Amino acid sequence: MASGISAKRRWMASERIALSVLGEMGFRVLETGRRVVVNGVEVGEVDAIAEDSEGNVYAVEVKAGRLDVSGVRQAYVNALLVNAKPMVVCKGFSDDAARELAERLGVRVVQLSDVFLVESEELYSLMREVVEEVLTDYLEVFYGYSPQLKQEHLEVLQAIASSADIGDAAGKLGIDAQALARKIEELRRAGVLPRWAVKYSSVRRVAQVLVWRRSLASALEESSRLVETARVLREELRELKAAVSGLAAQLKRLSETAAAVEEKSRASQAQGQQ
Distances in whole angstroms, Cα of residue 248 to Cα of each of 140, 235, 241, 252: 61, 20, 10, 6
Domain 7-117: assigned CATH number: 3.40.1350.10
Query: 116, 17 in Cβ contact below 8 A?
Result: yes
d(CA 83, CA 97): 25
Q: Is the pLDDT of residue 114 over 70?
A: no
Tell me what pLDDT residue 75 has.
Answer: 95
Biggest CA–CA distance in the chain, Å, is 144
Region label for 127, one of left (φ > 0), alpha (ψ between -120 and 50) or beta (otherwise): alpha
In this prediction, residues 221-229 reach a mean pLDDT of 77
What per-residue confidence (pLDDT) applies to 113?
Answer: 67
Q: How confident is the model at residue 134 (pLDDT cuts 50, 70, 90)?
A: low
Question: Do 239 and 232 form a contact (C-beta atoms < 8 A)?
Answer: no
**What's the pLDDT score for residue 1?**
39
Task: Give the residue-averaged pLDDT of 207-236.
Answer: 79
Cβ neighbour number for residue 62 with a 10 Å cutoff: 23
Q: What is the pLDDT of residue 65?
A: 81
All structural domains of the chain with their residue ranges: 7-117, 134-220
> What was the pLDDT predicted at 228?
79
In CATH terms, the fold of domain 134-220 is: Arc Repressor Mutant, subunit A (1.10.10)
**106 against 190, higher pLDDT:** 106
Mean pLDDT of 51-78: 92
Residues 73-83: what's their mean pLDDT? 95
Q: What is the mean pLDDT of the chain?
A: 81
Instruction: Report which listed range, 57-66, 105-114, 225-234, is most confident.
Output: 57-66
In this predicted model, which residue has the larger pLDDT, 135 or 228? 228
Separation CA 274–CA 268 (nearest Å): 10
Which pLDDT belongs to residue 122? 55
203 to 22, 224, 233: CA distances (angstroms)? 17, 31, 44
Predicted confidence band of residue 117 (pLDDT cuts 50, 70, 90): very low
Q: Cα torsion for 164, 166, 167, 168, to the nearest 10°? A: 40
Percent of the chain with pLDDT over 70: 80
What pLDDT score was predicted for residue 70? 94
Q: Check pLDDT > 90 for residue 103.
A: yes
What one-character-per-residue DSSP string does 107-150 give?
-EEEEPPGGG---HHHHHHHHHHHHHHHHHHHHIIIII------
Q: Kindly report each contact of residues 140-146 with a partner whose C-beta sits within 8 Å and lies 24 or more positions away, as own/partner.
A: 140/194, 141/194, 141/206, 141/209, 141/210, 142/209, 142/213, 145/194
| Listed residue (72, 83, 75, 71) closest to 38, CA to CA | 83
Which of 8-22, 116-130, 157-171, 200-214 shows the lowest per-residue confidence on average (mean pLDDT)? 116-130
* CA pair distance 91, 19, nearest whole angstrom: 14
Phi/psi at 136 (nearest 5 deg)? Answer: -60, -45
- Residue 53 pLDDT exceeds 70: yes
The whole-number pLDDT of residue 4 equals 46
> To the nearest whole percent, how much of the chain has pLDDT over 90?
27
pLDDT of residue 196: 77
- Alpha-helix residue ranges (DSSP H) falling in the chain: 7-24, 69-81, 96-105, 120-139, 151-161, 166-173, 177-189, 200-273
Yes or no: say if 172 and 162 are a contact pair by the CB < 8 Å rule. Answer: yes
